[in-house]
Structures are given as structure tokens and as C-alpha cells.
């Protein structure tokens, strides 16, 4: 069993990260890929900017992986990779990949990991808008609170 925890400024590749958890014992590889969309509440989004306290964020992610392994004993390998810095529209900001003996535990673990990561891990997101700020001013950006909204 291996855990991959990485916070990087590099562009993320779903295929490479999913491949990193491949194992002959796995009947399933479950993934989540979060990408920057071009809108939020009628505002046109240009990019997201992520910041993190990397040592604490990596430790928090590892703690989540350990908890996931306790909840779902069928997990083989787990990778959680998060981008920091600018993440333009269409680009991937996070990939979670889990190999497991069976699909149900892997899918449940991926769902739980992304929800818990958004609440517990010190990674902050700022939306940068094409025109104007969220309150009609010329601010052009807004920090977004972490939560478990879909």
C-alpha cells in the first residue's frame, strides 16, 4: 500500500495520477478530478488562484488518507495531488485516485476524501473574475470559503 500526497504548481494529469495507483490486486481505480469552471453566481471566472501552507496541508491530507484506510479496508493505493498557484478555466486543480479491490469502497473513499479535504486542509482559493468583483465593485476577485457544497 502506498500513499501519494503532493502539492505542486505543475499542471496535473489525471491519467498519470490514476496510473500511479494501479495495482494487479485492484478491481477498480476510482478518481475525482476538479477543474476550474468559467462561472460562479453569474460572474465570469478568469482563473482560480490557490494558496496553501504546504507542510500543514500535506500532513492534513495524509491524516485524511489514514482515516479513509480505517473506514474502507479495501483500499490499496491512494493519491491526492493538489495544484497551487493560478489554475485557469478548464485546468485541473485537484486529482484524487484510489485503487481498491472493489469499486464501491473506492468510490465512497474518493467522495469522502474530496469533501473532507475541502473542510479540513489549509488550501485557500481565490476566484479572479473577468469583469468586476462579486459585490459590483471593481475588485475583480473574491476569496472563497471552504465547504462541502456539491
**Which parts are annotated binding residues?**
102-103, 118, 125-127
Q: In which element (H, E) is residue 49 found? A: strand 43-52
With H, G, I as helix, E, B as strand and everything else as coil, classify residue 84.
coil
Angle CA 24–96–117, to nearest 5:
140
Q: Distance between CA 80 and CA 77 in Å, rounded?
A: 10
> Are 8 and 91 spatial neighbours (Cβ–Cβ below 8 Å)?
no
Could you tell me which residues come within 8 angstroms of residue 3 by beta carbon, excluding any fewer than 6 positions away? 62, 65, 77, 78, 79
With H, G, I as helix, E, B as strand and everything else as coil, classify residue 10.
coil
Which residues are annotated binding-site positions for substrate? 102-103, 118, 125-127
Amino acid at each position: 500500500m502506498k500513499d501519494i500526497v503532493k502539492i505542486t504548481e505543475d499542471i496535473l494529469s489525471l491519467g498519470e495520477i490514476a496510473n500511479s495507483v494501479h495495482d494487479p490486486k485492484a478491481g477498480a481505480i476510482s478518481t475525482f478530478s476538479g477543474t476550474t469552471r468559467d462561472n460562479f453566481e453569474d460572474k465570469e471566472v478568469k482563473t482560480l488562484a490557490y494558496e496553501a501552507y504546504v507542510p500543514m496541508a500535506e500532513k492534513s491530507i495524509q491524516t485524511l488518507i489514514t482515516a479513509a484506510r480505517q473506514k474502507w479496508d479495501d483500499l490499496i493505493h491512494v493519491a491526492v495531488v493538489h495544484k497551487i498557484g493560478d489554475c485557469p478555466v478548464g485546468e485541473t486543480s485537484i486529482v484524487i485516485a484510489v485503487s481498491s479491490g472493489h469499486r464501491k469502497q473506492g468510490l465512497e473513499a474518493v467522495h469522502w476524501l474530496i469533501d473532507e479535504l475541502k473542510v479540513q486542509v489549509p488550501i485557500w482559493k481565490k476566484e479572479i473574475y473577468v469583469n468586476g468583483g462579486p459585490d459590483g465593485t471593481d475588485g475583480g476577485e473574491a476569496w472563497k470559503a471552504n465547504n462541502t457544497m456539491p
